[in-house]
Amino acid sequence: MEIDSNYNVIEILTVILGWLAIIFFAYTIYQKQMVKPKVWEIPLIILVGLFSFSINWKMFDVMVQLPILPLGVWILYFVFKGKDQRWQTCRSFAWLGFGANFIFLASTLLTLPVHHVIYPKDDLSVYISNVENASIINIHPSAKDRSLNKDSLRKQLDTMRQEAIYSDQWYKETYMDPSSSKRNERFPYLLIGTSSKWGSGLHALIYIEDDGKGILLSTPKKELYFRSKDSLLEGGE
């Protein structure tokens, strides 16, 4: 069994940075205050302040949340309305909570280009970085009894050429004779046991073509197709 510990490290780092920024701002506000609230109340007020009505907005392939209404701030206002003094002391922290939404929004937007530079999304070696425990499984009866040639895969990872996907053509070629159920699959093997580059948090299904010279990468966002010069498989012919 493979143990999967590949998290998106950059995303985790920016979330931590975001929280550090919030703590820094909270500390600055606390220093400036004449009448100070109890320290344990501050995280609570910030957390309630975080609560907001936001709209989802698609930007460069990802959903970002744009906060609109500061619901948490309103709730705190109604709770503390009667006690004027209390509202004065906690108001800044409540708004800091709402502002935290924007800090996280900014960090998400920052993450995207950084992630793309460190882990280029068109690069095969980002998805297949460790082939030590790699093997193939047959996912269609037209697959032959073949095995993975690890050396061939390792050597060609950086030299495989990306090519266009002719999805409709591949599909139609398979159904040349629609009356017969005798059909071969163009990609009857699945490459397993590989891991993507450390810290990328990327996942893909990696299909191998019947001639052993093509890789179809199916990622959550898109598909990529690569061709190699020599076969990645051995035996079976």
Q: Least Å distance between CB 183 and another protein?
A: 5
| 82/220 with CB nearer another protein | 220
Interface with another protein includes 219 (CB under 8 A)?
yes
Alpha-carbon distance 42 to 126, whole Å?
42
Backbone φ and ψ of 223, nearest 5°: -115, 145
Q: Is 7 in the site for another protein (CB under 8 A)?
A: no
Q: Nearest CA to 31 among 20, 46, 42, 19?
A: 42
Select from 184, 179, 186 the least CA-distant residue to 223: 186
In whole angstroms, how far apart are CA 108 and each of 7, 64, 98, 117, 174? Answer: 16, 8, 16, 15, 42
Q: Are 135 and 147 in contact (CB under 8 A)?
A: yes
189 sits in which H/E element: strand 189-192
Instruction: Identify residues 96-115 at the interface with another protein (CB under 8 A).
Output: none
What minimum distance in Å lies between the beta carbon of 56 and another protein?
Answer: 10
What region, left, alpha or beta, does residue 196 occupy, with left being phi > 0 and alpha being psi -120 to 50 degrees?
Answer: beta
- The stretch among 39-47, 93-101, 120-128, 214-222 that binds another protein (CB under 8 A) is 214-222
- Minimal distance, residue 130 CB to another protein, in Å: 15
Interface region with another protein, contact rule CB under 8 A, candidates 13-21, 29-37, 146-154, 180-188: 180-188
184 near another protein, judged by CB under 8 A: yes
Rounded to whole angstroms, the Cα distance separating 46 from 93 reads: 6
Least distance in Å: CB of 15 to another protein? 18
Per CB under 8 A, which of residues 47..106 are in contact with another protein?
63
- Which strands, in side-by-side order, build the sheet including 161-163? 135-138, 189-192, 205-208, 214-218, 223-227, 161-163
220 binds another protein (CB under 8 A): yes
User: Which of 121, 190, 227, 234: binder of another protein (CB under 8 A)?
Assistant: 190
122 binds another protein (CB under 8 A): no
Instruction: Give yes or no for residue 142 binding another protein (CB under 8 A).
Output: yes
Q: Where does this chain bind another protein (CB under 8 A)?
A: 4, 63, 137-142, 164-168, 170-171, 174, 181-188, 190, 192, 203-205, 207, 216, 218-223
